[in-house]
Amino acid sequence: MTEEQIRALAKKIDIDLIGFFSVEPLMECLPYLCKRENKGFSTGFEGAPAVERINFYKQFPLAKTGIVIGINNFQTFKKLDDDQERGHIASVSWGEDYHKVLKRRMNELMTAVNLELEKNGEACSEYKIFVDNSPLVDRGSAYRAGLGFFGKNNCLINAQFGSYFFIGQILWGYEVSISDVAPVENGCHDCRRCLDACPGQALGDGYELNPSKCISFLTQKKNLSPLEEGYVKKYLYGCDICQQVCPYNQNLQKTNEKSFWIEAEVASPKLIDVLELTNNSYKKAYHETASGWRGKKVFLRNAELVLKNKKKND
């Protein structure tokens, strides 16, 4: 199998981005990861120390080739023109859980790849797929594969899709001759829009993240201090502010992935409706989304905080 053949198969199953990377340790990310650890900026979601997060063989000893995919998740909505008190759900949790969508796409791709190998008289090769379910740095793999550059908001930014794409990676026990890829040149320059827009100033001077001031992290954290509670003013889950202001995220095309499509009322639900959710109605509305893992209790707490902080500021 060649890189070109695999790219063609990916295109047939509507994978928006695909790249290939060496499975040698991701040393280019190690200084950044160690800096975060040393500053105490770990979130608890990393899953392993920095030195293990760059080691592909630790996760799949048979790895010979790395494949990374990206699926566009961008969409916009008309502003809801009413006087209802609403909370907002970040794009990471719009529609079907992206973990499931990307795993489905990657399994579909590798099924097609192994079928081609069988046609050519070769044995199927083992592989392992990852979507935020390992300590591996998915954005680091995508950067190595040339899918984008790291922005000051820590998102990977692609020329076509901005930062609105989900990343999945495949470690494959089959050796593919891959093209040399030059790192994508950083395009942030002296722009500070994301840094200045972040309500908690969690991004510092760029390329770092203080989770104790990051709204996205705080909406997922189980227990909040009074100071942290004060940051939850708009979002019920996640946060898109640093992405929304980014120049690379303007005038993007809506995702073709229909499982992500939702209506404005779903992205910005009425707080009164959220606070009245029962266990069954919560499960029906949110269990299959990327926010479902955190559960009803934290979701409703965030709704209460949004309402409380809004009344305090009115």
Every domain of the chain and the residues it spans: 3-75+95-172, 193-313
* Mean residue pLDDT across the chain: 95
| Average pLDDT of the segment spanning 197-215 | 95
SS3 169: strand
CA-CA-CA-CA torsion sign (200, 248, 152, 132): positive
CA distance 227 to 171: 42
Using an 8 Å Cβ cutoff, are 294 and 288 in contact? Answer: no
| Residue positions annotated with a catalytic role | 132
pLDDT in the model for residue 307: 95
pLDDT tens readout for residues 48-80? 999 999 999 999 999 999 999 999 999 999 889
CA distance 299 to 281: 13
SS3 191: coil
Closest to 57 measured CA to CA, from 173, 181, 177: 173
Q: How far is CA 229 from CA 127, 234, 235, in A?
A: 43, 11, 12
pLDDT tens readout for residues 87-130? 999 999 999 999 999 999 999 999 999 999 999 999 889 999 99
Bridging pattern class, strands 165-172 and 65-72 = antiparallel
Instruction: Quote the percentage of the chain above a pLDDT of 70.
Output: 100
pLDDT in the model for residue 81: 83
pTM of the model: 0.95
CB burial of 163-185 (b: ≥16 within 10 Å; e: otherwise) equals bbbbbbbbbbebebebeeeeebe
pLDDT tens readout for residues 229-278? 999 999 999 999 999 999 999 999 999 999 999 999 999 999 999 999 99
Closest to 105 measured CA to CA, from 140, 135, 144, 72: 72
Both tokens of 177, joined, read: 């001759």
